[in-house]
Structure 1
Amino acid sequence: MKLKTIRITPIAFKDAPLLNAAGIHEPYALRTIIELESDSGHIGLGETYGDAPVLDLLEVLAPDLVGLDPFDLNGLRRRAQDVVARTQTSAGAAFTLAPGTDPAKNLQKLYAAFEVAFLDMQARYLGMPLVDLLGGRVRDAVPFSAYLFFKYARHIDARYPDDAWGETLTPDQLVAQAETMIKRHGFKSIKLKAGVLSPDQEVACIRALASRFPGVPLRIDPNGNWSLSTAIVMGGQLDGLLEYYEDPCPTLTDMAALHQATGMPLATNMVVTDLNQFRVNTGSQGCQIILSDHHYWGGLRDTQLLARMCETFGLGLSMHSNSHLGISLMAMAHVAASVPLLSYACDTHYPWLDPQEEVIAGGQLRFEDGAIVLGAAAGLGVDIDQDALARLHQQYLDCGIRSRNDTAQMRKYQPDWTGKAPRF
């Protein structure tokens, strides 16, 4: 079996005005859909970032993969290494939005994007769910967490309608957002994207959630926007309310000092993003929980390696999320179902997706009691709705956005916004 056809399709889908440490989400989020077809007629699907630097690399690598055996992952890695070494990509966002926009992760991002599609094709060829190809399932249902955001009611651009979720800037509004999300999807834990309002306001929001949802595990993620001194003070106020404290500080050194000062379990998707940083972290004991993300950790097999390393060194494991569609959600679910160690419910932006903006056949995937339940379908278990793909590609062509830049978008609201962290 050899690869015959490779299609790289950038798309844009409507995104809510969600606030974060770097600014605010733009009206459209970018993704890239990868479709592989072999000479035997089998397909493989992938989904990754849609920013111009990543798209440049995908389009350069694609022709080099024609004729490659989809089981030859070492061949894929060699070709990806060569492309990254010889390709100068276009400029990305002004500020790095965690590892997803970090050019140092270009090889991992490029390899992972195609590895998922290769593995999907392998599993379809063998007639088995992808989780079985990854070693078999240790769980049939993968739990996810309600992912709450502070947000504006609408985008500043006049041509965009009011967001269906409305404004969330107060504890009462945040509790209402949580109630809606849990009612719709059955989530059993709650995460708050913080680093937006003053720390005291955000702690008040956590207390409001704890009062409304007693016993439900809570997390807060200031995205490195709190200084060490602020994080220590806020940690004292949050102690006993959180299952873990995620990336309050911007550096591993600060995180280690924070853990030493508070003893609180710290999670990260920002300061431990590869195995070299993992090694440093084991010495500093800065983070006790690693939030993996196959999009920049180097794919599904490397995520399994990370899980084994966490198990070996006694660290917790869960999953980070960015704005994504159903192909990425299913890739997350299959690898999460294959690793014995999954300490906490995974993150996902998927509930924020407008149901009309999904690219997979059959429309938006459904959570069952807060989890994605894996079935018996071969591969990832999803297929492309070609009409939806064409519509979302046209939306990409029309929207004019080519690289995510939450900072530039926020300057439309606040011209003096810098986006530099820590701000508090």
Structure 2
Amino acid sequence: MSDRANALALAEVRLTPVLVADPPLLNTQGVHQPYTPRLIIEVVTEGGVTGLGETYGDAGYLELAKPLAASLIGRPVTDLNGLPALAAEVCGDVAAAAGPDAVDVGGLRGVRTADKLRLSVLSGFEVACLDAWGKAVGLPVHALLGGKVRDAVEYSAYLFHRWAAHPGGRGERDDWGAALDPAGVVAQARRFADTYGFTSFKLKGGVFEPAREVATIRALAEAFPGRPLRLDPNGAWSVPTALAVAEELGDVLEYLEDPVSGTARMAEVAAALGGTGPGGARLPLATNMCVTTFDEIAEAFTRDAVQIVLSDHHYWGGLRATRELAAVCAAFGVGVAMHSNTHLGISLAAMTQVAATLPGLRYACDSHYPWQTEDVLTERLTFHDGRVAVGDAPGLGVELDRDRLAVLHRRWLADDGTLRDRDDVAAMRHADPGWTAPAVPRW
């Protein structure tokens, strides 16, 4: 093996679970916990280069990450095509223990399978290897993916119904206040627009009865005329309810995301939606719930159940798989956007790098990042005019702040285990002890 190849071999892999402050954002399952688990991955080459990755930090993901980390020692960071097979080999038994029917309520992504669990872990390692590879050869990650087609990536303001604070004095305080009615959500949107320059807005729905959320979207349309609006109730509605909302809002929505649960119901809604969009065009349905793996594509696309897939490199197994997904979508005439869950700057940097390489990305991406007051980077990523610039610095273009990482890891160590798995239903019980996961459809 050449000296250069030796320098790219992995000498060490470090896994650091952290708990990150999260505001009391409401969704159909409940409310975000005061702290959300994330896993920070560092891969260190023989040449002394460190690459960063980030993924979910719940116990199930961490247990999968440990054997995969150990198996990477001695392998080159460039061996990305070998990662999926390696993950399947070393993580198979652990992933299977998660059970094929476990519901991932934290991600609101439908049914969590062993394969989905493994792919979410794999994604963090792939990003870390790409970061290390880019730093070692002096190239940005987007160059390793084939090169950027845009110099900035547009993001959408992610609006939530929320409480002013977590119940019982839990968690960290912020100055956003409550947003429990149309006026509160509009005020939230104005602050996002003024602070970050966002020009499109997505509302997390499924929290209140549909008429109330329709009124909120109408209020947003009045406050921001002509701006793209999206609504995502996370599958909380029945088919008749979804069609009624589409009829009410078809003239102002850019797309309607997962109004119902499952491909069959999405196909039923899509078939009935002709002529409900702006100018009489069809109102597109988007998803990050019924199409989250390649195996789920065939049924959804052949049944015309979705017109936009919200990609998420964590779900799909990394940045290269995200590009493959975009190519499949292009072949079927399906649009691509980008989903987000609670994440830190490493994930935002990775999202931005891959989004910069997708020619067919016509919609602003989602991001929770403006809600996060904590990070593990030396410098937070910034939004200007609702966009994140695509830099040409080597790798992801970000650096780890070890002091901040240590603080957030100590919080994880101090936790008694109740927050190490995100559970929005359990978090809601601190306000409503009788709360249970709502049956679907909820309305």
- TM-score, normalised via structure 1 length: 0.96
* 2:73 equivalent among 66, 87, 92: 66
Letter in 2 for 1:300: L
Residue 277 of structure 2 corresponds to which residue in structure 1? none
Give the Cα–Cα distance (whole angstroms) in 1 for the partners of residues 342 and 170 of structure 2: 22
Letter in 2 for 1:385: D
User: Matched residues, percent identical?
Assistant: 48
Residue 111 of structure 1 corresponds to which residue in structure 2? 122
- C-alpha distance after superposition, 1:68-122 (max 9, x if no partner): 1111123322220012212255698774633498233022112211111111111
1:232 correspondence with 2:232: no
1:33 correspondence with 2:33: no
- C-alpha distance after superposition, 1:277-296 (max 9, x if no partner): 11111211010000000001
Letter in 2 for 1:251: G
Instruction: Label 1:35 to 1:408 Cα distance change in 2 as closer, same or farther (>3 A).
Output: same
Give the Cα–Cα distance (whole angstroms) in 1 for the partners of residues 236 and 264 of structure 2: 15
* 1:171 equivalent among 142, 166, 182: 182
Letter in 2 for 1:222: P
Letter in 2 for 1:360: L
- C-alpha distance after superposition, 1:158-180 (max 9, x if no partner): 24454321100011111000000
1:418 correspondence with 2:429: no
Give the Cα–Cα distance (whole angstroms) in 1 for the partners of residues 395 and 204 of structure 2: 32
Give the Cα–Cα distance (whole angstroms) in 2 for the partners of residues 367 and 169 of structure 1: 26
* 1:44 equivalent among 51, 56, 65: 51
Say whether the 8 Å CA contact 1:99–1:296 is kept in structure 2.
no
Give the Cα–Cα distance (whole angstroms) in 2 for the partners of residues 98 and 204 of structure 1: 24
Residue 425 of structure 2 corresponds to which residue in structure 1? 407
Give the Cα–Cα distance (whole angstroms) in 1 for the partners of residues 200 and 340 of structure 2: 15
Letter in 2 for 1:242: L
Instruction: Describe the SS at the equivalent of 1:120.
Output: helix
1:374 correspondence with 2:390: yes
Structure 2 unaligned regions, length at least 5: 1-7, 275-282
Residue 398 of structure 1 corresponds to which residue in structure 2? 414
Say whether the 8 Å CA contact 1:84–1:106 is kept in structure 2.
no
Instruction: Describe the SS at the equivalent of 1:312.
Output: helix
Instruction: Label 1:385 to 1:202 Cα distance change in 2 as closer, same or farther (>3 A).
Output: same
Instruction: Label 1:209 to 1:303 Cα distance change in 2 as closer, same or farther (>3 A).
Output: same
Say whether the 8 Å CA contact 2:56–2:121 is kept in structure 1.
no
Give the Cα–Cα distance (whole angstroms) in 2 for the partners of residues 257 and 86 of structure 1: 37
Residue 280 of structure 2 corresponds to which residue in structure 1? none
Deviates more, 1:81-90 or 1:178-187: 81-90
Instruction: Describe the SS at the equivalent of 1:73.
Output: coil
Give the Cα–Cα distance (whole angstroms) in 2 for the partners of residues 76 and 240 of structure 1: 45
Give the Cα–Cα distance (whole angstroms) in 1 for the partners of residues 215 and 161 of structure 2: 13
- C-alpha distance after superposition, 1:184-217 (max 9, x if no partner): 1001100000000110000000000000000110
- TM-score, normalised via structure 2 length: 0.92
| TM-superposed deviation, 1:418 | 2.0
1:15 correspondence with 2:26: no
Give the Cα–Cα distance (whole angstroms) in 1 for the partners of residues 73 and 52 of structure 2: 15
Give the Cα–Cα distance (whole angstroms) in 2 for the partners of residues 198 and 123 of structure 1: 48
Say whether the 8 Å CA contact 2:232–2:257 is kept in structure 1.
yes
Deviates more, 1:342-351 or 1:89-98: 89-98
Instruction: Describe the SS at the equivalent of 1:181.
Output: helix
| TM-superposed deviation, 1:62 | 0.9
Give the Cα–Cα distance (whole angstroms) in 1 for the partners of residues 171 and 53 of structure 2: 29
| TM-superposed deviation, 1:51 | 0.4
Say whether the 8 Å CA contact 2:54–2:347 is kept in structure 1.
yes
Instruction: Describe the SS at the equivalent of 2:356.
Output: helix
- C-alpha distance after superposition, 1:354-398 (max 9, x if no partner): 1xx110012x21101101101221000001000000001011122
Say whether the 8 Å CA contact 1:28–1:399 is kept in structure 2.
no
Please list, as runs of the form range in 1=range in 2, the aligned pairs for 1:315-394 lying within 5 A after superposition: 315-354=334-373, 357-362=374-379, 364-394=380-410
Give the Cα–Cα distance (whole angstroms) in 2 for the partners of residues 59 and 161 of structure 1: 30
Letter in 1 for 2:377: I
Give the Cα–Cα distance (whole angstroms) in 2 for the partners of residues 417 and 2 of structure 1: 50
Structure 1 unaligned regions, length at least 5: none
- Alignment length, in residue pairs? 421
Instruction: Describe the SS at the equivalent of 2:256.
Output: strand
| TM-superposed deviation, 1:406 | 0.2
Residue 102 of structure 1 corresponds to which residue in structure 2? 112
Instruction: Describe the SS at the equivalent of 1:157.
Output: helix
Give the Cα–Cα distance (whole angstroms) in 1 for the partners of residues 434 and 104 of structure 2: 15
Please list, as runs of the form range in 1=range in 2, the aligned pairs for 1:211-360 lying within 5 A after superposition: 211-263=222-274, 264-354=283-373, 357-360=374-377
Residue 144 of structure 1 corresponds to which residue in structure 2? 155
Residue 279 of structure 2 corresponds to which residue in structure 1? none
Aligned Cα root-mean-square deviation (Å) = 1.6
Letter in 2 for 1:74: N
Residue 209 of structure 2 corresponds to which residue in structure 1? 198
| TM-superposed deviation, 1:234 | 1.1
Instruction: Label 1:286 to 1:108 Cα distance change in 2 as closer, same or farther (>3 A).
Output: same
Say whether the 8 Å CA contact 1:100–1:296 is kept in structure 2.
no
Say whether the 8 Å CA contact 1:56–1:90 is kept in structure 2.
no
Give the Cα–Cα distance (whole angstroms) in 1 for the partners of residues 98 and 16 of structure 2: 18
Say whether the 8 Å CA contact 1:98–1:270 is kept in structure 2.
yes
| TM-superposed deviation, 1:276 | 1.9
Letter in 1 for 2:407: R
Deviates more, 1:157-166 or 1:384-393: 157-166
Instruction: Label 1:267 to 1:279 Cα distance change in 2 as closer, same or farther (>3 A).
Output: same
Give the Cα–Cα distance (whole angstroms) in 2 for the partners of residues 259 and 93 of structure 1: 25
Say whether the 8 Å CA contact 2:286–2:309 is kept in structure 1.
yes
Say whether the 8 Å CA contact 1:93–1:405 is kept in structure 2.
no
Say whether the 8 Å CA contact 1:52–1:90 is kept in structure 2.
no
